[in-house]
Structure 1
Amino acid sequence: MGSGTVRGSARKFFWTTTKTMCYKYEQHLKNPQMAIFVVDSEGCNEVGQDPAIIVRLSTLSMLLSSYLIFNVSTKVKQTDLEQLEIFLNSAQQTGEALGLDPIQHVDVVVRDWFGSIYCGEKGGKQHLQNVLQKVQRSQVIFSPFMDHILARARCFLMPFPGKSIAVSSRGHVKDMDTDFRDCLMDYFGCVLKSLPSCARKDSKGSVMSGSKFFGQLKLFIKTIEQYTLKISTPLEMASLLWNTNSQNLIIQDFDNILKQQEQDSDGLFKCVKTWPSQMRKLLEVKEKELIEKFGNSVRGSVEERERAMDKLQSRLHREKEIFCGKHKKNFRNGVIKCGVMAGSAAIGAVGAVVGGVVVGPALAAGAAAVGAVEAAGVALGLGVGAGVGAGVGAGVGAGVGSALSSSQAAGDATPSRSAKDKEDKKALLKEQDRE
């Protein structure tokens, strides 16, 4: 993927191809094709442009691009390199936030070149070396990532395309001057040779699939929609992307925990192994661990970090309450069914075994946490059910189930967010700041 910057454009949007170009590269692979999109950021670094718009467009450009074409007019100037560093800084921060390998290839294309040296790659290499030597003598210091990219960057010098194409509204090849057309074809050839090594990759070096890449694009759009008024610098953009991505990962971890608990409680006897109060305490511990994990990595100002942690905590709290309510209902129904089974006259003996061997230990384990009175009530319900008959046993079982539901109401009522939670959150953020 490539991105270009064009000076003199007053628009604030992207231009991109409407159709996907597929390029075949390594024939030994199962799917040896790469989807290529050509993107033009249309002057997002224009002087006087709204800084917030520059940040959003440059970040989106870096998200979409693994192959950056940075074009400048007449020659590479120090101001051009400073603009390039802004783009690369955005690329590095965006890559870190989304787990992407930043820009994998950079071409610096100088258009309307009128110098005396050769055009094309040979002349561009010499021109870029001369510019970098002047920068070094001026003692200007670039970021290590900028130095790393410039050491691998290619530079191409393109002559003036000719008057005919300069005034044309369409830009047909036939309107180009011969020397410009020849240089352009040479440059296209060099780009095609570089494409196989420039597929969009993640931070681990693996080529990203279309679906995974689309997921990252959706994350960017979601962040823009939620925080559009708070984004004015590349650092703020990168911090919000990082926090949003981290929140999604934490929520996914919590969902996996809930799914595992649901599997462990699936079934008549499994659902009564864990009392509702025990389940709530278990999930509260997991919730706290995940909130602390997020708090140790959240970025931005203190206000932004507190807001992000509050948002995540509200989400996990809501998911926990929904699950605990569902588990409480299943637990009550499970106890009732056990009472019915134990009270069946046809299988009275078997019911006694079920109550004493299977159900008994399961409920007894939970009784330690809830109280001896409730444990005795369960034992009574199962014992009477086994010995008296189906009708009485079912009634006792239902009564026990309802009683358990009522006795758990106080412990399982939705707790309010205490002041202690907020104090713990602030303490965590302060500790992170000190580190």
Structure 2
Amino acid sequence: MPLLNKLVPLGIPLAWLNLIKEKKRFFAAVAGIIFAVTMMLYQMGLKTAMFTQVVFPHLMLNCDLVITSPQYEYFGISRGFTEKRLNQAFALPQVDDVAPLYLVNLPIKNPLTKVNRDIFIIGFDPADKPFSDEAIESQQGLLKIPGHALFDVRSHAKFGPIVDLLEEGTVTTETNGRATEIVGTFEMGTTFAADGNLLVSKQTFFEIFPGQNPNLPAVGLITLEPGSDANATADELRAMLPQDVKIMTRAEFIDNEKRYWGERTPIGFVISASMAVAIIVGAVIVYQILYTDVTDHLEEYATLKSIGFKDSYFISLILQESVILSVLGFIPGAAFTAGLYYVTRKVAYMPTYFQWDNAGIVLGLTIFMCILAGALATRKLRHANPADIF
């Protein structure tokens, strides 16, 4: 194989030599793959963050079953249901406790700028235990005093430096025009429906929102006795209660929230469409680069074919170039995406973190994209006749 020894000096793969011969073309291909990798990985990160973010409140709820209105769509402003249905659940012996929640978005005044911004308010009876968070449970007693509230430390900065001010003592502000004293903090996180969160007692809730019917909670939480079957109990409640309520297990309640934001809003479609565009753009760029490479070296490849090299050798060569490009593009693309994740966390308050499972999927898609583009680029070579070329 003297010819190949000349083509591949010092054991350097021929695929690599072909790629770096035209450096501008090589860097253009790598840049295209970096773009595709960044787009795909960033969109996947946003999708993961979205489904994590929208269920922050749900994951903190202490319940096995949930009762809502049949018109319930997401954890936000929704039509209430009669609290009588929640109390009727006690007819089942496996029901241990119930807790109604009241939800609303109302303006709260920034204590420094005096500008009103809407904040998501959750009202509950401090005697209940609707949250599994120890920080909330330890401070619930403070909410028994009318006008007291707990502030989410992960709320948007537009509400003011409330956390810093709390270090000097309680913070007095106004919620929907009513005096509110913030006496503690908890950690929940923003969602697409809320830039910040405030916890208040049921009494305080109806003082700042007097138009709401106290007998119509937005969400009802049901806690079962240890060892009880949540799915079976849900079926019993559905058979026992009228059709004016909707019964869900905790898992179904969480899935309902994800499904709403992923399917019933443009967010899920936009993210999926962006990933598809990234794959198409990256594949087209790689195809153009590899196709040009095949065309430029067609005479050399035809010479090798004329002395007995099979099409499989050239296909293998182009596919090697595809894999090299995919790996070289993936590494800086992943690093760049990690930087974008950091910026997104700081600016948009979204939980965007680099996840290895997403990276593995994107790496697989990148390699597939490049191999597909390489396979298409070899069509001209496979059909080339050395006699026609010369």
- Tell me the TM-score normalised to structure 2 length: 0.32
Larger Rg: 1
Q: Which has the higher strand share?
A: 2
Q: Which has the higher helix share?
A: 1
- Tell me the TM-score normalised to structure 1 length: 0.29
